[in-house]
Structure 1
Amino acid sequence: MKKSMVVAALAGLVAAVLLVVYRGVAEVFGPLVDTGWGLLLITLFHAVPLVLSAKGLQVLIIGHRTGLLQVTHLRWIREGINNLLPVAQVGGDFIGARLLTFFGIPGGLAGGSAVVSLTMEVLTQFLFTVLGFGLLLLVLGGRESEGLSWILFGLLTALPVLLGFVVAQRTGLFRLVERLFNRITKGLDLEWLGIGELSGLHDAIQTIYRSPRALISSALYHFFSWVIGAGEVWIALYFMGYPVSIWDALILESLGKAVRSAAFIVPGGLGVQEGGFMLLAPLLGLTPEVGLALSLAKRVREVALGAPSLFAWHVVEGRRLWQRRKPS
């Protein structure tokens, strides 16, 4: 865990606290408290996009049967790591790929399926953001907003980066990663980490990309996971006493997620997510304070699901360690 990540997390936390203080603690926490039992409903509702996201990974594990319950369990752990630990917002994906090997998936395939799943997840999030941007243009009805130009700039900047990442995967980026990793770790016993060599990583990625049915299925599962996730926003605002249309919920969810993802280097998007919702809310007739309360409601859900997932992660690790120490 790098010191820079800890510093970024602390800076984000301080920024979030300052935003709440600036807008008024009572004004922000009032709507959050009004959510009441809605916070429990939000937490339970998140199981739907979580399972869809797990299916988006499961269909890419070609040649090995892995139960949906197992994959969902690992995605749950992955989310907890990304949301609550001071790691970049992709740290949980590396841990998730490693945990896949605990279920008999070869290291190359586990890593390859995780890489392609993350790629499908990011590409479909881009489409989800475009959808939200288009809906926002319709809602504003031609009214000028400084935020629109920034959103458009972000989309135009992200597109070549995403396409470049896909091309790099197809042209041997991970063959290089595979060779470098195996060369650096040559002679080391990595079996206890559940990694071993990364032999087959590049080939696994190419095999998946030669399976259009698996790719399309994964993309659809991830896209609908993003879309259905907007229900969380709708539920939260309804219980706060600020009901919005499903279209407004889609706008807030898609653009809010985009802002958070753009700052992926900041653990959990701390401070960034709060600022994003505070700026987006007024575009839809809500106050900045309600936007902040919405962000905090999401944080409550992340902690409620993330804390148990971190405990589950340690249980999985402990069980594996115990099994390795047992005399044969």
Structure 2
Amino acid sequence: MLTAGVALMAILLASHGVGAVRQILSEVGWQAALVVAAHLPVTFLATVGWQVLLPPNRRPGLPFLFRLRLIKEAVNALLPVAQVGGEVVRAKLAARNGLTLAETTASCVVDVLAGTAGLVLFVLVSLAVAMATLHDPRLAQAGLALVAVVAAVSGALFVAHKAGVGQRLGQFSQRWTAIAGRVGALGEAFRGIGGRRAEIAASWAWHMAAWAAGAVETYVAMWALGLHPTLMQALIVEGLAQTAKVVGFAIPGALGVQEGGYLLLGGALGLTPDQALALSLLRRMRELVLGVLGLVLWRATRPAETGGQTAKEAATA
């Protein structure tokens, strides 16, 4: 899938002129640093949305969780893990200082669900704004497709709930004692979060704030390219970018898919193909800078965990 993304990116750049895009990006200069910095509030708000889901009496501090969030985003953006490997990494790294792996795993799963629910609403709002202001039939088709996907997922979850999947999992864990401890602990962790409805609602609200902050980030990127955007335009572009990432989830960073989305609807937003590609590549630059930082933080975080295990094994020996 990575090869397909790289090939698609190369085709788009070749067909729309690398030179023109490079010239636009070269005019950004120091303002590129502002584009990178504009994403940090997005990450911070999403981190708060995750923190409220952790056990109230054992929640790690925001600086530690913020670091893990950066690591998660880096893994999903730069490594071939289909946008899910970062969740596994942050769950494992968070399982320390009294938190069990079951608790951190459950919090990450619910965090993803809360963020996805917020993303669906954010994208629908951005599409509604686009359809009301741009009158482009392609936007209406995208909105209907998204609603169909959401309805299908919601229906599947409802059927699973009515079929008693959770109860059957519990019965299964009781029959097979070899895995009963792990499955039982994870089920208990989910029940603990599920009983705190206020925290789940707060997580969703924080994620909604994060998606809104993403529109501000896009506004900064468009301003850096000299496009003189409005906040409404930035909202539409951010909704488009997030929709493209969902469509291309199997490709690391939705490589090539995001660029195609910008080109597909860029004309309706008043962007030339060169400007649309330059905007997408500026976003790629931000992902690369923060991604490298996240991978460095991951490298710096892992030895503490590995070192602790090594010391324990040595003591046992």
TM-score for both structures, normalised by structure 2: 0.90
Q: Within 5 Å, which residues of 2 pair with 1:112-191?
A: 112-140=106-134, 143-162=135-154, 164-165=156-157, 168=160, 171-172=164-165, 176=169
Q: Does the 8 Å CA contact 1:59/1:214 hold for their aligned counterparts?
A: yes
For the pair 1:228 / 2:218, whether they are aligned, the reply is no
Residue from 47, 52, 55 that aligns with 1:54 = 47
Other-structure match for 2:9: 16
Residue from 86, 93, 101 that aligns with 2:80 = 86
Q: Does the 8 Å CA contact 2:91/2:108 hold for their aligned counterparts?
A: yes
Other-structure match for 1:104: 98
Q: Does the 8 Å CA contact 1:84/1:267 hold for their aligned counterparts?
A: yes
RMSD (CA atoms): 2.5
Q: Cα gap change, 1:184/1:118 in structure 2, threshold over 3 Å: closer, same or farther?
A: farther
Q: Cα gap change, 1:261/1:144 in structure 2, threshold over 3 Å: closer, same or farther?
A: closer
Structure 1 position 173, deviation (Å): 5.0
| One-letter amino acid matched to 1:16 | M
When structure 1 is superposed on structure 2, of 51-60 and 37-46 the one drifting more is: 37-46
Structure 1 position 288, deviation (Å): 2.0
Structure 1 position 179, deviation (Å): 6.0
Other-structure match for 1:95: 89
| One-letter amino acid matched to 1:227 | A
Q: Cα gap change, 1:23/1:179 in structure 2, threshold over 3 Å: closer, same or farther?
A: farther
Structure 1 position 168, deviation (Å): 4.4
Q: Does the 8 Å CA contact 2:38/2:220 hold for their aligned counterparts?
A: no
Other-structure match for 1:45: 38
- Please give the per-residue CA displacement for 1:86-138, whole angstroms capped at 9, x wherever unaligned: 11112111111111113431122111111100000001000000110111012
Q: Cα gap change, 1:90/1:323 in structure 2, threshold over 3 Å: closer, same or farther?
A: same
- Please give the per-residue CA displacement for 1:48-69, whole angstroms capped at 9, x wherever unaligned: 0101000010000024221111
Task: Give the Cα–Cα distance (whole angstroms) in 1 for the partners of residues 207 and 114 of structure 2.
Answer: 7
Q: Which ranges in structure 2 are unaligned for 5 or more consecutive residues?
A: none
% identical aligned pairs? 30
Task: Give the Cα–Cα distance (whole angstroms) in 1 for the partners of residues 126 and 273 of structure 2.
Answer: 19
Q: Does the 8 Å CA contact 1:51/1:72 hold for their aligned counterparts?
A: yes
Q: Cα gap change, 1:167/1:116 in structure 2, threshold over 3 Å: closer, same or farther?
A: farther
Task: Give the Cα–Cα distance (whole angstroms) in 2 for the partners of residues 75 and 293 of structure 1.
Answer: 27
Structure 1 position 283, deviation (Å): 1.1
TM-score for both structures, normalised by structure 1: 0.87
| One-letter amino acid matched to 1:36 | G
| One-letter amino acid matched to 2:288 | V
Task: Give the Cα–Cα distance (whole angstroms) in 1 for the partners of residues 194 and 109 of structure 2.
Answer: 11
Aligned length: 310
Q: Does the 8 Å CA contact 1:54/1:75 hold for their aligned counterparts?
A: yes
Task: Give the Cα–Cα distance (whole angstroms) in 1 for the partners of residues 165 and 22 of structure 2.
Answer: 50
